[in-house]
Structure 1
Amino acid sequence: MFARATANAYAQVGVQTGAMSASPHKLIVMLYDGARAAIARAKFHLESGNIAERGNAISKAIDIIDNGLRAVLDHEAGGEISANLESLYEYMVRRLMLANLRSDAALLAEVDTLLESLASAWAQIDDTAAAADRQPALQDN
């Protein structure tokens, strides 16, 4: 038990250090990863019949989506995209609550697939921005 607690504490320090040094873009990636990891834990606990831990994992995923991803949306700058993302995040939260009530792995998989798609799109935005940053500035002569 001590080894597990030590490993968990070490991992938490690593996450905190990564978050403090991460760009805003990377923080969003970390939120997507965290939500997906929580859903994976929920699926594991659902399959093993551990109701309490399944509920904890689903609650963690909901917290990340609702108080992390949804809370940082900038409706002024994001416009319609921001509004659509907010609706999608609210939908995910509802589906996760239903997954918990029904012990439904398919609903967990549905939300995980949605998060995977968003994370992939977000990563492409970062790749595009990084490539643009590497381009030398053109100078007018």
Structure 2
Amino acid sequence: MNAMAALRQYQTVNTQTQLTDADPHRLIQMLMDGGLSRLAQARGAMQYGQLAAKGELIGKAIGIIGGLRDGLNFAQGGEIAVNLDRLYEYMISRLVKANRDNDMALIDEVADLLRNVKSGWDAISH
């Protein structure tokens, strides 16, 4: 096993351990971190003309944001959940456009929005 394969294996085991040990609040933080990471990677792929990787990474970011959206609890979250639902829907539409138009500014816009949501989430004690 080469060093890169060993590193990937460690990261997979480490992530699985974190998921097993994580409470729901931490799981949302991990999803947001993953979304921000995919957006940064997609931006880099776009910058270097790696269109297939860009599309795949934007697709993963859309999947993560969709997961955040699916996890909203409208009964408990009320107006905040409704507003987050709309924001996540907006983020997804912007990422679809970013992918189609190769527009880095749209990736940056979504990353900024997700960072803002994450900072609010991080401030909530659980």
Q: Same fold (TM over 0.5)?
A: yes
Q: How much has 1:45 moved relative to structure 2?
A: 0.2
RMSD over aligned Cα atoms: 1.3
Which runs of structure 1 show a deviation greater than 2 angstroms over 4 or more consecutive aligned residues? 1-6
Task: State the distance in 1 between where 2:2 and 2:44 align.
Answer: 23
Map of 1:117 onto structure 2:
116
Partner of 1:132: none
Question: For residue 86 of structure 1, what is the amino acid of its counterpart?
Answer: D
Partner residue in 1 for 2:72: 73
Percent of pairs with identical residues: 44
How far apart, CA to CA, are the structure 2 residues paired with 1:40 and 1:13? 23
Encode CA deviations 1:49-86: one digit per residue, 9 max, x unaligned.
100000110000000000x2011100111111101100
Q: How does 1:10-29 map to 2 (within 5 A)?
A: 10-29=10-29
Q: Matches of 2:98 and 2:2 in 1, distance apart?
A: 33
Residue 9 of structure 1: how far off its partner (Å): 2.2
Distance 1:41 1:9 in 2: 20
**Alpha-carbon separation, structure 2, partners of 1:13 and 1:56:** 23
Residues 1-141 of structure 1: matches in 2 within 5 Å? 2-66=2-66, 68-126=67-125, 129=126
In the alignment of these two chains, the number of paired residues is: 126
Q: Which runs of 5+ in 1 are unaligned?
A: 130-141
What residue ranges of structure 2 are gaps of 5+ in the alignment?
none
CA distance in structure 2 between the aligned counterparts of 1:6 and 1:47, rounded to whole angstroms: 29
How much does 1:12 deviate? 1.6
Please report the TM-score for the alignment, with normalisation by the length of structure 1.
0.85
TM-score, with structure 2 as normaliser: 0.95
> Distance in 1 between the 2:47 and 2:5 partners?
24
Partner of 1:139: none
Q: Secondary structure at the match of 2:82?
A: helix
